[in-house]
């Protein structure tokens, strides 16, 4: 049974100044699934990911054409508020980037600026639930006022996931979330993603093909700014339609 389509990308072209980074990318991403994006460095998968919550807006020279519809709403429409969009589409980055503030403040920041909590107890409630969902609550519950940067790398990354889900998004974008972590921390994050997909739609960029194979239902392969192929993860790793995909997943290049 197929899940319903959450994100629909059509004819996405992205330019950084003179250089074109993405060519006519079309892709559907299903709700409550993990979709993995793989491909060699510089192939445009991160660029693609950052288009989904308009993080590319901060780069002056970046120009985006085409349409990205989330629940049927084009997020590049003129009247779209990026702040609202990013509330619905959270992001976790390659390097854990907690704010140099307390663990509590890290998670409370999003709800506070969006006015999600009426009072202090509600805010605490949100922070605790988010930390629980990110499977880090038990490790930090006694030291919520310590700085987020004092945690280990894996804990920091889970704190960042808690921060992302604190504003109750629909979609979570993950840009190589485990590339700075050791295998044990990676396993924890992967297990966490399994849990999270019940509530959220997850799109993950990864360099590790094993990780893509382990966690994702669908996988898209990017090469030189083109989306070469997107299909069920099993198919991509066993019998891909395109030779380049086969070469990449079997380790012949990349």
The binding site for another protein (CB under 8 A) comprises: 53, 55, 58, 60, 83-87, 90-91, 93, 95, 97-100, 109-110, 113-114, 160, 163-164, 166-167
In the complex, minimum distance from the CB of residue 143 to another protein, in angstroms, rounded to a whole number: 19
Other beta carbons within 10 angstroms of residue 235's beta carbon come to 15
In the complex with another protein, the residue whose CB is nearer, 136 or 230, is: 136
Structure tokens at 111: 């709800």
In the complex, minimum distance from the CB of residue 63 to another protein, in angstroms, rounded to a whole number: 14
In the complex with another protein, the residue whose CB is nearer, 96 or 240, is: 96
In the complex, minimum distance from the CB of residue 111 to another protein, in angstroms, rounded to a whole number: 9
Q: Which residues pair with 154 in a beta bridge?
A: none
In the complex with another protein, the residue whose CB is nearer, 63 or 217, is: 63
In the complex, minimum distance from the CB of residue 86 to another protein, in angstroms, rounded to a whole number: 4
In the complex, minimum distance from the CB of residue 156 to another protein, in angstroms, rounded to a whole number: 11
In the complex with another protein, the residue whose CB is nearer, 57 or 247, is: 57
Question: How far is the C-alpha of 143 from the C-alpha of 141, rounded, in Å?
Answer: 6
Instruction: Kindly provide the b/e burial profile for residues 25-62, where b requires at least 16 CB atoms within 10 angstroms of the residue's own CB.
Output: bebbbbebbbbbbbbeeebbbbbbbbbbbbbbeeeeeb
In the complex, minimum distance from the CB of residue 230 to another protein, in angstroms, rounded to a whole number: 25
In the complex with another protein, the residue whose CB is nearer, 86 or 223, is: 86
In the complex with another protein, the residue whose CB is nearer, 122 or 232, is: 122
């Amino acid at each position: 049974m197929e899940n319903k389509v959450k994100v629909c990308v059509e004819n996405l072209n992205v330019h950084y100044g003179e250089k074109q980074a993405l060519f006519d990318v079309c892709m559907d991403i299903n709700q409550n699934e993990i979709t993995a994006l793989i491909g060699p460095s510089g192939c445009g998968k991160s660029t693609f990911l950052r288009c989904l919550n308009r993080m590319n807006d901060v780069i002056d020279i970046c120009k985006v054409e085409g349409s990205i519809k989330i629940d049927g709403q084009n997020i590049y429409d003129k009247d779209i508020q990026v702040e609202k969009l990013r509330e619905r589409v959270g992001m976790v980055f390659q390097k854990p980037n907690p704010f140099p503030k307390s663990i509590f403040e890290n998670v409370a920041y999003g709800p506070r600026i969006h006015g999600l909590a009426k009072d202090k107890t509600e805010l605490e409630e949100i922070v605790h639930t988010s930390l629980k969902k990110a499977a880090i609550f038990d490790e930090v519950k006694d030291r919520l006022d310590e700085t987020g940067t004092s945690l280990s790398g894996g804990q920091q990354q889970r704190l960042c996931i808690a921060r992302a889900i604190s504003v109750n998004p629909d979609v979570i974008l993950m840009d190589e979330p485990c590339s700075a972590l050791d295998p044990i921390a990676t396993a924890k994050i992967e297990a966490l993603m399994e849990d999270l997909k019940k509530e959220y739609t997850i799109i993950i960029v990864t360099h590790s093909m094993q990780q893509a194979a382990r966690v994702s239902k669908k996988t898209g392969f990017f090469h030189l700014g083109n989306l070469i192929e997107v299909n069920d993860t099993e198919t991509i790793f066993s019998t891909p339609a395109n030779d380049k995909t086969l070469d990449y997943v079997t380790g012949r290049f990349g």
